[in-house]
Chains A and B, each alone.
Chain A
Amino acid sequence: MSNNYFNTLPLREQLAQLAKCRFMSMDEFSDGVEALKGKKIVVIGCGAQGLNQGLNLRDSGLDVSYTLRAAAIAEKRQSWKNATENGFVVGTYEELIPTADVVLNLTPDKQHTPVVKEIMPLMKQGACLSYSHGFNIVEEGMQIREDLTVIMVAPKCPGSEVRAEYVRGFGVPTLIAVHEDNDPKGEGLALAKAYAVGTGGHKAGVLMSSFIAEVKSDLMGEQTILCGMLQTGSILCFDKMVEEGIDAGYASKLIQYGWETITEALKYGGVTNMLDRLSNPAKIKAFDLAEELKVIMRPLYNKHQDDIINGTFSRVMMEDWANDDKNLLGWRAETAETNFEKTPAGDVEISEQEFFDNGILMVAMVKAGVELAFETMTAAGIIAESAYYESLHETPLIANTIARKKLYEMNATISDTAEYGCYLYNHACLPLLADFMKDIKTDVIGKGLSETDNGVDNARLIEVNAALRSHPVEAIGAVLRGHMADMKKIV
C-alpha cells in the first residue's frame, strides 16, 4: 500500500515545501533548450498532454519519440494513431525506455504507479524522469531509483491549449519543480527550465514550485472552485430558474454558456472586472450574495483543504480506485441524470451582456469560489502565485468545457482525480446551500434586476468597489496577468 510522502516529512519541511513558489524572470531562460539538445526524449502516453507537449518539444528542435504499451501498438489504438500520424517514432517500453535520456510520464494519475514501476528498471543509469503532476510522488509516496533525476513540468492549461499557444508564438503558464530527494547530479532545474522553454511556457510565465505545493494546490483548486463550484452552481441555478417558471431551454443556455462568458471577464481583469460588467445595483447585489456564500461555504473549503493536506482525500480516492471506481462511476452516472444535463440549450439569442445581467448569482458564485479557494490555500501556507493559478486562472478554461458539452464534457476533460474531488464537493455543497437558495428569486438568476431596483447608495458603492479591488487575489492577479499580454478570446 502506498505511503504518503508529505506525511513523512517534519512540519518544518512540510511548511517550507508548501511555501515554495517563485515567479521566475525571463532571463533565467536565456539558455533556451540547450540542456535538452541532443538528448533523447521519450514520452509515455499519447493523449492530449502527451501529444501536444511532444509536438511543441519537437518544433523546438528536440528529439522526441513515444512509447506505448505493446497492446496499444498492436491494436493500433488512438494513442498509437496520434503518435504515428504526426510522424513520431513509436515503440514499446522495452524498445525505447532504455535509450531515453529523459522520460516524460504523461499518463493519467491513476496509471502512474504501475507505469513507473514498469519503466523504472528499464531506465538508463542517470536518466531523468519527468512528471506533469506530483500526485504519484507526494500522495502515493513512489520511491524513485536514486540515480535518476526527478522533475516536474506542468503546463497550467489543457493539452490543446498548450499546442495552440505555442503555435501562436506564445505558451501557457507553467509550473516547474525538482524533487530534491532525486537530484543526484544537480541538473534537475536546468532540465526543467529547458523543458519549459521547449513547450513555450517561459513566454507566459514559469513558477518554480515544489512537488508538494503543486499537488496540494492543484487538488484544492480543481475540486472546489474550478469544477465543484461550477457543477453545483449549474445544478442549483438551473433548478431554481425552472422552479420560478423560466423557460427550461433559456435556463439551460444561460448556464451552459454563462460560465464561459462571465469568466472571460475574469480572465481579462480578475474578479473586479467581472463585477464591473454588472450595473451598479447588480454589482452590489452580487457582492452581497458572494459575501453570504463565503460565510456558508468557508467550512467546506477548509475541510477540502484539510483533507488534501493531511492525505485523507487521496487515501479515500485511492480506496475507490481499488474498489473499481464504484463511487466515481456512480456519481458520474448521477450527474448525467440531472435536469440541467438533460435539458438542451434553447434556441434563443442571449447577448454577451445579458449573461451578466441575468446571471448575477452565477457571478456571485464565481467570486465567492475564487476568493474562498485563494484564501484557504494561502492560509494553508501555499504562496499567492500558486493559489492564483489554481483558482482564478484556470476557472475560464474549465468554464469553456461546460460551454462545449455541459458537465459531461467538463468531467470527461478533467483528470479522474479532479472529477472525484468535484463530486465530493458537489455532494457536500448542494445541501449546504439549500437554505440560501430558498430566498433566491429570478432577479438574480434568470431575469435580472427590475427597473425599480435601480438606485444605489454612493457610500455603499464606494465600499463595494474598494473591497473588490483590495482583495489579495486581485493584487497578485494584476502582476501575473501582466505577463500574458494579448490574450486570446475564448468566446
Chain B
Amino acid sequence: MNHSISLKKATVTFDERFTLTNIDWDITANQHWMITGSNGSGKSALAAVLAGMGDITTGQVSGLPENVGLVSFEAQAELIAEELKKDDADIMDVIAIGTPVREMIFDYCSDQNLAEQLVEKFGLSSLLDRAFRKLSTGETRKVMLIRALANQPDLLILDEPFDGLDANTLDMLQEHLASIVNQVPIVMVLNRLDEMPSFITHIAYMDKQGKDQGGLSLIVDRQDTTAFNELHQLLHLKTTELEVPEADSSNQLPKLDPAQPLVRLKDVTIKYEDTIIVDKLNWTIEQGQHWQLSGPNGSGKTGVLSLITGDHPQCYVNDIFVFGFQRGNGESIWQIKQFIGYVSTALQWEYRVSTSCRNVIISGFYDSIGMYSKATDNQKKIANEWLALLGMKDRADSPFNKLSYGDQRLLLIARAMVKHPPLLILDEPCLGLDDLNRQLVLALIEKICQGSETTVLYVNHHAEDQIRGIENYLELVKRQ
C-alpha cells in the first residue's frame, strides 16, 4: 500500500443498528494497527469501514484499497448464510451437498501456491472434499483465513482472528503473519493487549459514545511505553468482569437512619472578612440520590464540600446536619469522616507520604493520609482485591509517590471506596489527567456506581466527563 487510508470526521452507520461517530484516523505506509476497546464500542464496525462497509453519512473516507482480505465473525456468518441460501434455492428433492472446501478456497484465491501451502499447514488437506457448511466453526475460520491470506490483498483485516483457534494453528498463524508484514498492512481487532503481535505499530482504542454508538477515542503509538501501559490498565478495567471488593465485615460503619437525609445544609454561608463566597445555600442529599455539583472557579464548590466533610472551620457556625449529627454538638470530625469517601486534586497533593500502594488503599479504612495503625489481615486482603481490580497487583509494595499521577488518582479513588462509604465525594476527579488517564478514572467510577450502594457526589466543570446514573444537578454561581 503506497497511499494512505484516511478518515476525516467520518460518521458511518450500519443499517441504523450501529453508528461510528466522528472518526479521524489515518493509516499510512508501514503501519500495522490493532483496534481495541470495550464491547459495543465499534471495533468491528471500524474494521468493516476499511472493507468498504457501512454508509458514510458525514465526513470523508478516502484511500480504501480494492482488494481487502477480511476475516471476521460477521463475514464468516455471512459466508455460511450464503451457503445455506444455496441450499434453500434448490427446489429439487435431492440432498444438497453444498460447496466443497476445495472450491471455496481455490476458486477464490489468486495465489494458488500459497493457498496450497496454507491448506497443508492448517491441516485442512483431508477436508478439501467436504462441504464447507459441514465444517466446524474452527475449521470454517481456517478457510476464511486462507482465503484472506492467499488472495494477495492490499490490506488484511483480521477481526479477532485468534478466537477459536487451537494452540498449534495459532502459533502457525502468528508466524505466517510475521512473515508477511513487509508485504501487506495489517489491521487486527483484538480484545486483549496481551494477544497483540509484536509487529503492531499503533493501537486504536474505541469507546462507547452512547447507545449503539461508538467512536475512536485514543490512538497510542506502540513506542510510547507509558501510554501503552496505561492503555493496558484501561482495557483491564473496561473489558474484565470485575466486582467491587466487599467492605471490611469486622469493622462495620454505624447504621444510618434511612428516613434521614445524608446531608442537609440550611441557609449555609461561607465568608472571609467581608467577602461572601456562598450565600444562604440550601441543599439536601438523600440516600441513593447521586448529585453533580458544578460552577465556575471561585463559586465555592470546594468550600461547600468541606462544610460537609467537616474540613471547613465555618462548619461550626452553620446549620449543618450530616449522617445523623447536627454539627457543633460535641461530635468529632472522625465521626463524620467515617461516612465519607473523598477524592480531590488537593488530597493528592497532600498525600505525600512514603508508603506503599497497598497502604494507601488501607488508609481509607482509617480516613488518614498515611498509615498509623496496624492493618488487619482482612483489610490487607481487601486492599489486594482493589489492586487487582485496578490492574496494579504487581505494584502493591511499590512506593505511592513513585507512581504516575493517573495511577495515584486511581489508588485514591480505591482508598475512598474501600470502606463502602454512604457518600463518595469526587471533587474534579479528572483534573490534571491526560485523556487516557481521564478515561481510566471515569471507567473506575462507573464501575463503582454500578456495583455498590454508595451515593455519589460528583464535582466537575467539564460537561464531557459525565457519569452515567447521575440525575441531580446543583450549579453554584460566582458572586460578584
Query: Is A485 a contact partner of B272 (Cβ separation < 8 A)?
Result: no
Within 8 Å by CB of A169, from B330, B367, B401, lies B367
Interface of A is mostly: loop
Q: Which of B119-127, B230-238, B349-357 makes up part of the contact surface?
A: B349-357
Interface assignment of B302: CB less than 8 Å from any CB of chain A: no
Query: Is B330 a contact partner of A485 (Cβ separation < 8 A)?
Result: no
Within 8 Å by CB of A486, from B310, B317, B372, lies B372
Query: Is B370 a contact partner of A61 (Cβ separation < 8 A)?
Result: no
Query: Is B372 a contact partner of A38 (Cβ separation < 8 A)?
Result: no
Q: Tell me the chain B residues, 306-322 only, with Cβ under 8 Å from chain A.
A: 310-311, 313-317
In the bound assembly, the distance between CA atoms of A489 and B355 in angstroms comes to: 11
**Given contact pairs A60-B332, A61-B332, A81-B273, A486 touches B350 in the complex (Cβ within 8 A):** no
Contact-residue size bin, chain A (C-beta under 8 Å from the other chain): 20 to 34
Interface assignment of A351: CB less than 8 Å from any CB of chain B: no
Query: Is A486 a contact partner of B354 (Cβ separation < 8 A)?
Result: yes
Within 8 Å by CB of A87, from B313, B363, B370, lies B313
In the bound assembly, the distance between CA atoms of A304 and B315 in angstroms comes to: 48
Interface assignment of B366: CB less than 8 Å from any CB of chain A: yes
Instruction: Return B364 CB to nearest CB of chain A, in Å.
Output: 11
In the bound assembly, the distance between CA atoms of A168 and B371 in angstroms comes to: 10
- Which residue from chain B places its CB closest to the CB of A166 in the assembled complex? B333
Of A58, A167, A204, A488, the most chain B CB neighbours within 10 A belong to A488
Interface string of B367-378 (1 = CB under 8 A from A): 111111000000
**Given contact pairs A61-B331, A61-B332, A487 touches B313 in the complex (Cβ within 8 A):** no
Interface assignment of A422: CB less than 8 Å from any CB of chain B: no
- Which residue from chain B places its CB closest to the CB of A204 in the assembled complex? B372
Interface assignment of B44: CB less than 8 Å from any CB of chain A: no
Residues of B within 8 A of A60 (CB): 332-333
Interface assignment of A55: CB less than 8 Å from any CB of chain B: yes
Instruction: Return B182 CB to nearest CB of chain A, in Å.
Output: 46
Contact-residue size bin, chain B (C-beta under 8 Å from the other chain): 20 to 34
In the bound assembly, the distance between CA atoms of A81 and B273 in angstroms comes to: 8
Interface string of A238-281 (1 = CB under 8 A from B): 00000000000000000000000000000010000000000000
Interface assignment of B384: CB less than 8 Å from any CB of chain A: no
Residues of B within 8 A of A59 (CB): 310, 332-333
Interface assignment of B359: CB less than 8 Å from any CB of chain A: yes
Query: Is A486 a contact partner of B371 (Cβ separation < 8 A)?
Result: yes
Query: Is A55 a contact partner of B313 (Cβ separation < 8 A)?
Result: yes
Query: Is A86 a contact partner of B350 (Cβ separation < 8 A)?
Result: no
Interface string of A52-65 (1 = CB under 8 A from B): 00010011111100
Of B310, B335, B353, the most chain A CB neighbours within 10 A belong to B353
Within 8 Å by CB of B371, from A58, A87, A268, A485, lies A485
Query: Is B368 a contact partner of A489 (Cβ separation < 8 A)?
Result: no
Interface assignment of A203: CB less than 8 Å from any CB of chain B: yes
Instruction: Return B400 CB to nearest CB of chain A, in Å.
Output: 10
Q: Tell me the chain B residues, 395-439 only, with Cβ under 8 Å from chain A.
A: 401
- Which residue from chain A places its CB closest to the CB of B335 in the assembled complex? A61
In the bound assembly, the distance between CA atoms of A295 and B317 in angstroms comes to: 59
- Which residue from chain A places its CB closest to the CB of B272 in the assembled complex? A85
Query: Is A486 a contact partner of B370 (Cβ separation < 8 A)?
Result: yes
In the bound assembly, the distance between CA atoms of A38 and B330 in angstroms comes to: 8
Instruction: Return B307 CB to nearest CB of chain A, in Å.
Output: 11
In the bound assembly, the distance between CA atoms of A83 and B126 in angstroms comes to: 91
Within 8 Å by CB of A167, from B311, B317, B354, B401, lies B311
Residues of A within 8 A of B352 (CB): 488-489
In the bound assembly, the distance between CA atoms of A489 and B366 in angstroms comes to: 20
Residues of B within 8 A of A58 (CB): 316
Instruction: Return A488 CB to nearest CB of chain B, in Å.
Output: 5
Within 8 Å by CB of B370, from A33, A63, A488, lies A488
Interface assignment of A389: CB less than 8 Å from any CB of chain B: no
Query: Is A170 a contact partner of B370 (Cβ separation < 8 A)?
Result: yes
Residues of B within 8 A of A88 (CB): 316
- Which residue from chain B places its CB closest to the CB of A491 in the assembled complex? B352
Interface string of A19-62 (1 = CB under 8 A from B): 00000000000000100011000000000000000010011111
Residues of B within 8 A of A86 (CB): 313-314
- Which residue from chain A places its CB closest to the CB of B351 in the assembled complex? A168
Within 8 Å by CB of B369, from A85, A169, A485, lies A169
Query: Is B368 a contact partner of A168 (Cβ separation < 8 A)?
Result: yes
- Which residue from chain B places its CB closest to the CB of A81 in the assembled complex? B273
Query: Is B372 a contact partner of A203 (Cβ separation < 8 A)?
Result: yes
Residues of B within 8 A of A489 (CB): 352-354, 401
In the bound assembly, the distance between CA atoms of A488 and B349 in angstroms comes to: 12
Query: Is B370 a contact partner of A168 (Cβ separation < 8 A)?
Result: yes
In the bound assembly, the distance between CA atoms of A58 and B368 in angstroms comes to: 18
- Which residue from chain B places its CB closest to the CB of A484 in the assembled complex? B372
- Which residue from chain B places its CB closest to the CB of A169 in the assembled complex? B368
In the bound assembly, the distance between CA atoms of A87 and B317 in angstroms comes to: 6
- Which residue from chain A places its CB closest to the CB of B359 in the assembled complex? A486
Instruction: Return B424 CB to nearest CB of chain A, in Å.
Output: 18
Residues of B within 8 A of A487 (CB): 353-354, 370
Interface string of A453-491 (1 = CB under 8 A from B): 000000000000000000000000000000001111100
In the bound assembly, the distance between CA atoms of A488 and B352 in angstroms comes to: 6
Interface string of A186-205 (1 = CB under 8 A from B): 00000000000000000110
Query: Is B401 a contact partner of A168 (Cβ separation < 8 A)?
Result: no
Question: Can you list 7 contacts pairing A with B, beta carbon distance less than 8 Å?
Answer: A61-B332, A85-B272, A169-B370, A204-B372, A486-B353, A487-B353, A488-B352
**Nearest 9 interchain pairs by C-beta:** A169-B368, A486-B370, A86-B313, A168-B369, A87-B317, A61-B332, A59-B333, A87-B316, A486-B355
Q: Besides A86-B313, A485-B371, 6 other CB < 8 A contacts?
A: A63-B330, A85-B313, A86-B314, A169-B366, A169-B367, A486-B354
